[in-house]
Structure 1
């Protein structure tokens, strides 16, 4: 069970889709962890993007444990581990957490699909 409101996750999905649909967004590779700083460099050109700004605002308004849940949801939806290992994913997200969660998340080109899959695995329907 997740503690982040599924409607909040659905809004993040919509914003990620809109952000990644733009032709000028190029993200060179998958980040390995939330602490990787290359995501900041890749996203520097998009600081004035309305979708990114709203996405970042929503993430920044979440408590750290909720941010960690969103990261774990990404990893779950990406098939890094099965649902049975949800607690281990949360623990890993806690250990790797930093204040650049929004940048880490949005740097994944398939973020919307991963979050949607993670929600589905938890039994929630996403829009």
Structure 2
């Protein structure tokens, strides 16, 4: 059983979709900025999703990473406990930093929920 609610995962999926869409627009708008200015703009852009992930408790953050790994087929849904143990021993930076480094985060989380028979679309519809 996941320690994070499917509605929280759906919220993160929506924020990740939004971040990905905005990052394309941001890239066009910031072409002429220096590297430091561009990095600052990127951090501002991911502030909402980063804050949401940081506000999760440790068990929820662990399961969120494990769910992403299940979604990318690193583990199967029947290996949730093993995925959790791996998160706890191998991830040394913040959950937000780790997850936001995944270019396909929203897709991995959607696939992870699907692996447990949970429809991300139904959860997203409830949020909206």
TM-score scaled to structure 1, two decimals?
Answer: 0.77
1:47 counterpart = 2:43 = yes
- Report deviation, 1:96: 2.5
Tell me how far apart the structure 2 counterparts of residues 95 and 59 of structure 1 sit (CA, whole Å). Answer: 19
Tell me how far apart the structure 1 counterparts of residues 13 and 105 of structure 2 sit (CA, whole Å). Answer: 7
Residue of structure 1 equivalent to 2:4: 4
Gaps of 5+ in 2: 28-38, 122-128
Which residue of 56, 62, 69 maps to 1:62? 56
Q: Which runs of 4+ in 1 moved over 6 A?
A: none
Equivalent residues in 2 for 1:69-80, closer than 5 Å = 69-80=63-74
TM-score scaled to structure 2, two decimals?
Answer: 0.77
Tell me how far apart the structure 2 counterparts of residues 20 and 78 of structure 1 sit (CA, whole Å). Answer: 18
The RMSD of aligned alpha carbons is 1.9
Gaps of 5+ in 1: 26-42
Which residue of 77, 87, 90 maps to 1:93? 87
* 8 Å CA contact 2:9, 2:109 repeated in 1: yes
- Report deviation, 1:88: 0.4
Describe the superposition over 1:4-56 as per-residue Cα deviations: whole angstroms up to 9, x where unpaired.
1111100100111111122146xxxxxxxxxxxxxxxxx6551111xx21111
